[in-house]
Amino acid sequence: DSGVTQTPKHLITATGQRVTLRCSPRSGDLSVYWYQQSLDQGLQFLIHYYNGEERAKGNILERFSAQQFPDLHSELNLSSLELGDSALYFCASSVASGVQETQYFGPGTRLLVL
Amino acid sequence: AQTVTQSQPEMSVQEAETVTLSCTYDTSESNYYLFWYKQPPSRQMILVIRQEAYKQQNATENRFSVNFQKAAKSFSLKISDSQLGDTAMYFCAFMPNNAGNMLTFGGGTRLMVKP
């Protein structure tokens, strides 16, 4: 158990809908990262937040957005869902924002868009 | 842009034997970090080992060790005394020193440990 929690574990929804994935980092960690794991794209970095501020963006679609709240939990919002958005979404956390920080991953949220 | 390549989609090893998983990467950066993550059937991503590029000494964590060849841009993982619980997908990952802590992953190697 990495100490990173993600809810829900599984999510089934329909195309065109909007969902919110939630992540709580390890106690004391200020950085939160989101990754997407799909069959065709593999594991891809989406976005990084540090202490409430966006620090880096990867291959995140405009239909997706994220934020980190004052209590440091983070939410990833996916809207206008398409079949291709079906994937495993991971949240990871690290103590700070330095590049030497190891990222610890949560168990993931499996999203299925029908 | 950095790329990470794992050329072995699948491997198998007998229990108690040693196996080496390959990883190569392409970058123009001089300072960076390399990682191996394990993803068992539970899908949890578990850190196995990390290596700082500025360190010449290869990292070791119990039965897991790496062979880091900076000039060749190679970062292989050796698992000694393989155990059934080592059965998993293994991902090599690269993090440059200046890119917002973004991990770039390889495509993974599926390792099966046979009894």
Please give the average pLDDT of every successive group of 10 residues along chain A, which has 114 residues. Answer: 93 97 95 93 92 91 96 97 96 78 92 97
**Does residue B108 belong to the interface with chain A, where contact is any CB pair within 8 Å?**
yes
Name which of A99, A109, A111 to mutate to probe chain B: the one with the most chain B Cβ atoms within 10 A of its Cβ: A99
pLDDT at A101: 77
Looking at residues B2-31, what average pLDDT do you find? 94
Query: CA–CA separation, B38 vs A63, rounded Å?
Result: 30
Taking the C-alpha atoms of residue A7 and residue A109, their distance in angstroms, rounded to an integer, is 7
Chains A and B form CB pairs within 8 A to the count of 62
Cα angle, residue B16 at apex, residues B15 and B17 outer, rounded to 5°: 90
Q: Using one digit for the tens of pLDDT, what is the confidence trace for B56-106?
A: 899 999 999 999 999 999 999 999 999 999 999 999 999 887 656 789 999
Q: How many CB atoms lie within 10 A of CB B93?
A: 24
Q: Is the peptide bond before B40 cis (omega within 30 degrees of 0)?
A: no
| Range B53-76 burial, b when 16+ CB lie within 10 A, else e | beeeeebeeeebbbebeeeebebb
How far apart (Å, rounded) are the C-alpha atoms in residues A36 and B45? 12
